[in-house]
Every structure is written in structure tokens, then in C-alpha cells.
Structure 1
């Protein structure tokens, strides 16, 4: 593979894996031939690795390398030289390519990579560039919210589904998708409660249009049940309704083979069900006017069976929709530990808020009062709740320990810990700016003029290589869903951003506690201080950008 001129643009980990794989084994190389290292121990000696076992399979006739104890694991010398001198757009500059007991390893030219990334880190705050230009709308139907008429009816599993829907809406939007949230109208009390958690659900007064659509659905179902010899019954908001046999429709269209529950048969359709489908129909009609459309039902596991009924009912009542893709993303249950009585969402919020307030008072004393502190406590509470309910894969059960102390800043896996580290960074930059105004430090020079060879700490490369450079990949992977895959159930990586934020905060905290970033005001120390501050700027922007996808406002002071 001939070396291409090195572009001054951004460098990507995924592109490095692709280019290195092609250079090693040709265009048919599997995407997993190279592995990116992530542990601090391994990053001391290498950044990318082809394990020794993979080398044996790819180069079985290679000579014995001086560092290897078994035959058949050595690649040609000229290929090693090619990998060392490789240059291509998007590929980080390579420093060395060596063979070792572990396999074939590459270490990057780290000062050059620091310069390429930190000189302009704005490309690393958004998803990887996407070549797909097809306009697509995803309708996110948060099924539990349809029936919530007050905060008392909003269960913890409902809240979890709402948080997942809200997060997915943000991820899909920044990845170029158009998103429509359903239902487009919530009751005032539920809407106000969700706003405390940073969820601004859209509002549309759809009453008039829904009444017309619901009326037409009732007429259709009466005709359908009569034609099929069923008792049509009546439709109202009481336990009565129209009894519809879904089994005949499902068998006719081979829907059981697609993953629908084989026990789906009769469905007693009431007014709420028809309004639910009417809202879907209206959103679908608006979406298909400008783009292709997929419907993603976000459902708590307790309501999965009922949502499948609504799915089939919609298909039955509006056959003109054709083969609209409907997928179901199931959220696992939320189990409260150490509680003898059920707890609703309002009680959960107030409990976590009181714990945050108590922890803050213990740490800062009587200063914890006033509007600014109220806003900080609410922000910490929102972060704690969101990380508790979202850091677990959506299909798994969440176990809430209401007495657990890990929701405070002392717990390194909590949202409050992430917020605490955001505040540490903000305070550090405030201290620097104050020192500049006092003449203690000089003004910050242009990022492209900094000397990044002064960044030699292991923790500095860890923050750049594992987090800043990986953030575009995290944003892209978090929004990836196989919307056209067989079956009706789908999974998404809705826990990825939370886990990324916790991991970044832990490694940043270790680095911050070990390294004195704002050093003594001596000219010979400024070069390293500025390089470190630029690295911290990038870390801060990544933290803020990631929190934005969960609709959490970062703390600006401790």
C-alpha cells in the first residue's frame, strides 16, 4: 500500500484500524485484525496490537523472530517497514512498529497526535462523519407516557423508558436523523415533573385531530368485527370496548414468524388504545411527507405484550401505511431494594434530593442555601437519578438501593461524581483566568503554537487516546440500531454514554489528584502548563457534550 500525503485534518481510531488492517493483510482484512489498547499498563508500550495468534494464522511461513519463542509468527520485514512509514488521511502518525511476545504492535507518534487533536478538538465533539445522505425520520413512541395522567401514575419503570427515549432522541438527532417524539402531549403535572429532570417533552394540542381519527377508527373496527362475525361491543373509557380478534390478521400476514407473541389473540380495544394509535398515525403521516420513516416503540417490560397488541391494531386499521417498520425496544424492570412499600417517581426524586442536600450541607455547612444552591442540588439530583436508571443496559433490571451512599460525590460510579469533576475543571479555569487578570500568568497562546511534547504523563495520553479521540465513536455507536433487522425487538447502546462519562471522570480524577496543572508562575514552566490546560479544555468540552445528550447541565462551581 503506497503512502498517501498526511492530511492536517482530524485523525480517527476507526480509520486507523481500517488502514492498518488493509496494509497488513489487504483489502479483505477482517475489521478485528488490529485491536486498540485501552489499559494504562499496555499503553505504556503500544497503542495498537495484532495478537500473536492472529499473526500465526496470517503469516504461517514467517521466519523465527528473535523475540518469539515459537515458529510461524513473524511478518515480513518489508511489511513492518511499510507499517512504520504508513501515512493516510485520518491515520494518526506512526512512530514504531515492532514484534514482541504479545504480537505485532504499533506505537503512535504521541506528540504529533497531541498536536493534531488538541490543535483543533472541535471535530471530536460530534459523531464520526457519515456518508449516508438519506433523509430518515425515527418516531420514538414512549409507550408508558400515553396513560400517565398524574405523577402518581408515573412508575419508576415508566420514568426509565422516558429517560431512554429522551436520550435516544438526542443521540439520533446529532447523528443526522429527524426525530419525532410521541405522545406529543402530556398532562401538565407529568410534564412539570419531567422538566425537573431536564426532559423538555414536545407539546402539541392534538385534541381536535385525534377525535376525528379516533371516530374513524371506531367505525372501521365495527365494520371489521361484523364482517368477521365477531361481537363488536362498544368503545368508551370504561372496561368495555370493541373486541378484535388479532390472531386471524397476524396469521394472514405471517407476523408470528417475525417475533410477535403467539398468545396474541383477542384485544379488547378501548378509547385510550385508539388515542394511542391515532397519535402514532398522525406523527407517521407528518413524517412520510418528507422522508422515510421507522417507528420505535420504547416500552417497559410490564407493557410489552399490550404494546404488541397496539402494533398489530395499527397495522390492521391502517393497511395503507404499507410495510412501515415497527420495532420494540424493551426496558427491563426497576426493582427497589430495602423498601417495604412501593415508591413512585415523585417520592424517589424527593428522596434523592434530600440525600444530595444532606451531603452538601455536611460538606459545605450553612452556605448551602439560596437559589444558586437550589439549582445545584436539583442538577445533582437529576444527574444521580439519570445515571442510576440509565447506566445499566436497557434490557436488564435496575436495582435501586435507596439508602446507598454511592449517589453522592463520594461514589465514583455516580452522576454526582461526574458533576463534581465538571465543577473541578470549571474552578480550575476560573483560577487561571483570575491569575491572568492579576498578571500572574500570561494570556493563553494559540492552540497550534503549543509545545505538546511536554505532555509525557501516562494519564495525559490515557485521556486523549481513550476519551477525546474515542468520543466520536461513542456518539456514533450509541445511536446505532439495526432498524431493518429481522424480528420486532431491538437493542440500543443506551448505557454507553453514562459508562463513558463515569470512566472518563475516574481517570481524570486520578490525573488531577496526581498532577499539579496550574504550576508556579515561572516562564520555563508555562509551556507545559499551557499544553496541560489545552488538554483539560478538551476534556471539559467532551464532558459537557456527553452530558448534553442526557440533558444534564454541568456544574460550574463546587
Structure 2
């Protein structure tokens, strides 16, 4: 990679590295404290500065806020890997304000834009092997049996798997799919969930667990009236035994579990559930015996209690070499605004959204909406709409769906369809440019190193680079961060980060696109600025497509 300002940046510029270097400059030789510097993001503040150390933070570091005379010079002269060149540092009424050499930052980033499509801590994941156990998929016989809360858990697990893989984590998904109708439904949703490969080995493992459990001192013969079984829709032949978990819980002094856990009527399908997880753990140990393995149960809040029973049962059955640490990622409920107690199935919700997307497209484009290409567009819009509705909210919080047609629009700035609309606008922009090149109106886009980035003076241009292209590696790392050392059995993940990022990117891009004429007149004296803007849009498009890929949403080339 070419040097910038005398310093070589092999991994690209990193905002996280910049904040760390600025913090170290405030306290040389001392441990870096978080929260000393803030990256600005609002257009109002970015007119004046890019980073700020607030007065309150400075007052806490220096008596009476008296800044050392050499501090400003020390900050202005920072040269470190990953840190962009600094134009100025000055003391203002708000604190220490740092402004970057923006034209040089544009040049560096646009010349090496692929560096900004990977997580900032790639290949350094804390957990090397993760098994994502999507509880909703165990025992479901058809898409019609899937609730909306089940669908949310599936989409959370699917997205989390992608961002963890980008971080360098080896991810195994369980359970494998058996039912063809289920496979087809998830394919329609663009969820590439694996199928069962070695069903016989799972059967053998299930029988082994059954034998272990029945010979265990904690197992009790199951005696109950048939009427009680029928109320739970359970056949007597499916029951293996029952286990009292409370004593095991107290004996092990385990924390974080529901205090009401006790009697567990164990069914054959419960043991099959555990056998699939156990098989995945053993596969992880074969592939990488040196690294630990973590099982994350992705479960909706209604089934959390039952999954805690499964967790304890597995600990009881597998206390030895094949055990693995377990965490529970709990998804909040999904409600329908018109009917809080709605029993709308995931399949019905999908069909409804697809019909609405097709209807909205017909209303806008009329008879043009037909054929395979439009089917692909409608499918992509449906996938985007559903994913953003389910994932743009923190997985712990409730999601409330509005199912009426009025909630569907390409102009709603919080929606997946709005993101796809702007994705298509970018594609159309480049189609128009390439058409102009083919017609001889424009020359071909020069190499990024030949751009004159001093022409990028529009406020919106710096916002797009500084708020979206530069921070994208940190967004991916934030989304993949799992606080594995947190106490208790619950774990949280920032699965909403990518959706929120895409929504904000789309709003700022739309504002810029509506205000600025990117493709200028075919006049030589206008080419310099046009080429720089097109290269910026190309880098932004790469970020947009990479972010959509973590959601398994195909980008649109037209709309």
C-alpha cells in the first residue's frame, strides 16, 4: 500500500485506531481510557471538526482544565499506522477539536477501498468456534407451524453467522433441515440453512444419550395419566423419563437460571436435539482441537424456559470431554399492531409481504412488472422488508409489525425497501455512466491514484466517507462482538447494527444524490470532479453491497 503523509498504512485507516492514538496523546505513558474522544457524525459539527475531546474530559485530566502547552503540538504531529493525517488541533469553547486533512483521507480511502470491507479485527475473534443452535427449527414440521417469533430467531441466527464468519470465526449451524417444505420456505427467504447430512449418526447418538439418561440416578420412571399427556399433545411412547433439575442446579451452584426450574419430562425429540449439538461440538474439536467451542442457543423469549432445561440436561449427560460452554441469546416477542394476540404464521406473513411488494411495484410501474427479472426484484424487496422489520431492533426488544398495505413504501426511510431503492439508484447511476462511455460522451474512469480528491468539497461527500466508508470495518466488528465473559447464561449481540447502518447510509446518500448532479456535462473541465465523485460512489456501493451480503439480501440493479 502506498504511504500517506510519510507513514505506510498496510491495513487502511481505522477510526478505532485513531481514537486510541488521540487518547494516548492526552495521557502519554498512561493506560488509554475510553470516552476521552468522540468521533463527530452530525453535519453541523463536521463543518468544524472531525474529533472532539470535550471540556469535561479535559478538566478531569488536567487541574482546572489547564492544557499543557505542548499538547496541541503533540496531537497535531501524530503519525501512526491506521491514523489519518491531521490538519489541525485547536482548543475551542467545546474542548479540543481535531480536523483531518480531508483531501488526503479521500485519496487514501478511495485508492484502497477494498480495505474497508472487512472487520477491523479480522482473524482475531475471541471465540474461534461457535455453534449457533436455532431452537425454533427443532421439531418444526412445516412453515405453517412457524410463529413470527420463530422467524425472528432464524433471521437473527442467520445474520449472526455471517458477521461472525467475516470476523474469522468458524460457525456451525444446527439443527440440519429435514423437511423439504421447510428447505423451500427458507430458500424463498434467502436463508441458506444447511440440511442434515449424516442422519444415521444422529440416531446413534440419540440412542446413546437415551441409554445414558435411563441408567442415570437422576432419572425417574414416568407415570402420569393419559389425560395429562393429551393436554400437552405428547404421546406416552415418546417419553423417555423425567428428571428433577433443581437438585442438579443447586449441587453445581449454577447461576443465571430460572429459579423455578425443576421437573423436566424428557422426550425422544429432546435427546435428538442434544445429539445434533453434540455432533457439531465433536466436529469442531476434530477441525480445531486447540481452540475452545461455544454453543449459543438462539431462542425466542417464549421458549427460553424450556431451553434452559435442555441446557441443564446436556450438562447432566455430558460432564466430560465433549461438553462445551453454553450461552443463550434471547429474542424478544413479535407482536402485530392490530392484534397483540395475533396467531399470524411466518408463512402467512411472508406471503403477505410478497403480495404487497408486487402490488406496490405494479402500482408504480404498471404492466412492466412481469417476467423472471421482476420476480427476482419482488423477492429481493420482500426479503429486505422482512429482514429490516425483524433485525433493525435490538434482539432483546419487542418487534411490532404493521401488516397493512399502507406500511409498505420505497420512500419510508426506516425500511428495507428504502435501502433497496437507493441501492438501485446507485446501480442506475453507473449504468448511465457506462452507457455514456460506450457512446463516447465520457472517458473511462481513471485509476483511483490519478483522482483529484481536492474537488470533493461538498459537505455530503465527507459525510458519506467519514460516517460510512471509513467506519464500516468497525461496524462489522461491533456487530460480531460477543461478550463471552459476561456473567450468567445470557449473551447479547449487536445484530441490529448493520440494519441501522444501512438505513442511515441510505438517508444521507439520498440527501446527497437529490442535491448533487454527479454525472456532469461531457465537458473536459468538469471531468476531474465527476471522476472523484464516481469513485466515491463506487466505494459507497461496495460497502452497501457488502453490508447487504451479511443479511443475504441480493442488491438490486434496477427498480
- Could you state the TM-score of these two structures normalised by the residue count of structure 1? 0.94
Q: How many residues align?
A: 541
In 1, the alpha carbon distance for the partners of 2:86 and 2:407 equals: 42
Worse-matched range after superposition: 400-409 or 294-303: 400-409
Aligned to 2:211: 219
Superposed CA deviations along residues 143-183 of structure 1, whole A, max 9, x for unmatched, are 11002110111111111000000001101101000000000
In 2, the alpha carbon distance for the partners of 1:398 and 1:117 equals: 37
Aligned to 1:307: 307
Aligned to 1:20: 22
- Alpha carbons of structure 1 residues 273 and 524: separation in structure 2 relative to 1, 3 Å: same
CA RMSD of aligned residues (A): 1.9
In 1, the alpha carbon distance for the partners of 2:370 and 2:198 equals: 42
- Alpha carbons of structure 1 residues 83 and 113: separation in structure 2 relative to 1, 3 Å: same
Superposed CA deviations along residues 335-358 of structure 1, whole A, max 9, x for unmatched, are 011148521111111111111111
Aligned to 1:185: 177
TM-aligned CA deviation for residue 366 of structure 1: 1.1
DSSP-derived class of the 1:289 partner = helix
DSSP-derived class of the 1:140 partner = strand
Contact 1:337 1:401 (C-alpha < 8 Å) held by counterparts: yes
Aligned to 1:66: none
- Alpha carbons of structure 1 residues 554 and 133: separation in structure 2 relative to 1, 3 Å: closer
Superposed CA deviations along residues 103-133 of structure 1, whole A, max 9, x for unmatched, are 1100000001001111111010010134738
Provide runs of 4+ in structure 1 moved above 4 Å. 232-239
TM-aligned CA deviation for residue 323 of structure 1: 5.8
Superposed CA deviations along residues 50-80 of structure 1, whole A, max 9, x for unmatched, are 00111112222xxxxxxxxxxx334223221
**1:56-455 equivalence runs, <5 A:** 56-60=59-63, 72-130=64-122, 132=124, 136-224=128-216, 227-228=217-218, 230-231=220-221, 240-255=239-254, 258-291=255-288, 292-321=292-321, 324-339=324-339, 342-403=343-404, 405-455=406-456
Report whether the alignment pairs 1:503 with 2:495: no
Aligned to 2:48: 45
Contact 2:132 2:157 (C-alpha < 8 Å) held by counterparts: yes
Contact 1:143 1:297 (C-alpha < 8 Å) held by counterparts: yes
DSSP-derived class of the 1:553 partner = coil
TM-aligned CA deviation for residue 404 of structure 1: 5.6
In 1, the alpha carbon distance for the partners of 2:41 and 2:505 equals: 12
In 2, the alpha carbon distance for the partners of 1:453 and 1:387 equals: 37
TM-aligned CA deviation for residue 406 of structure 1: 3.9
Worse-matched range after superposition: 201-210 or 86-95: 201-210
In 2, the alpha carbon distance for the partners of 1:299 and 1:121 equals: 37
Contact 1:315 1:321 (C-alpha < 8 Å) held by counterparts: no
Worse-matched range after superposition: 365-374 or 498-507: 365-374
TM-aligned CA deviation for residue 85 of structure 1: 2.2
Contact 2:125 2:169 (C-alpha < 8 Å) held by counterparts: no
Contact 1:260 1:488 (C-alpha < 8 Å) held by counterparts: yes
Unaligned regions of 5+ residues in structure 2, if any? 225-233
DSSP-derived class of the 1:299 partner = strand
In 1, the alpha carbon distance for the partners of 2:164 and 2:370 equals: 38
In 2, the alpha carbon distance for the partners of 1:127 and 1:85 equals: 27
DSSP-derived class of the 1:459 partner = helix
Contact 1:210 1:278 (C-alpha < 8 Å) held by counterparts: yes
- Alpha carbons of structure 1 residues 133 and 504: separation in structure 2 relative to 1, 3 Å: closer
In 2, the alpha carbon distance for the partners of 1:233 and 1:372 equals: 59
TM-aligned CA deviation for residue 28 of structure 1: 1.9
TM-aligned CA deviation for residue 238 of structure 1: 5.2
DSSP-derived class of the 2:400 partner = strand
TM-aligned CA deviation for residue 185 of structure 1: 2.4
In 1, the alpha carbon distance for the partners of 2:372 and 2:219 equals: 65
In 2, the alpha carbon distance for the partners of 1:397 and 1:307 equals: 20
Superposed CA deviations along residues 514-537 of structure 1, whole A, max 9, x for unmatched, are 000000011110000000000000
In 2, the alpha carbon distance for the partners of 1:263 and 1:435 equals: 70
Aligned to 2:230: none
Aligned to 1:521: 522
TM-aligned CA deviation for residue 204 of structure 1: 2.4
In 1, the alpha carbon distance for the partners of 2:112 and 2:210 equals: 59
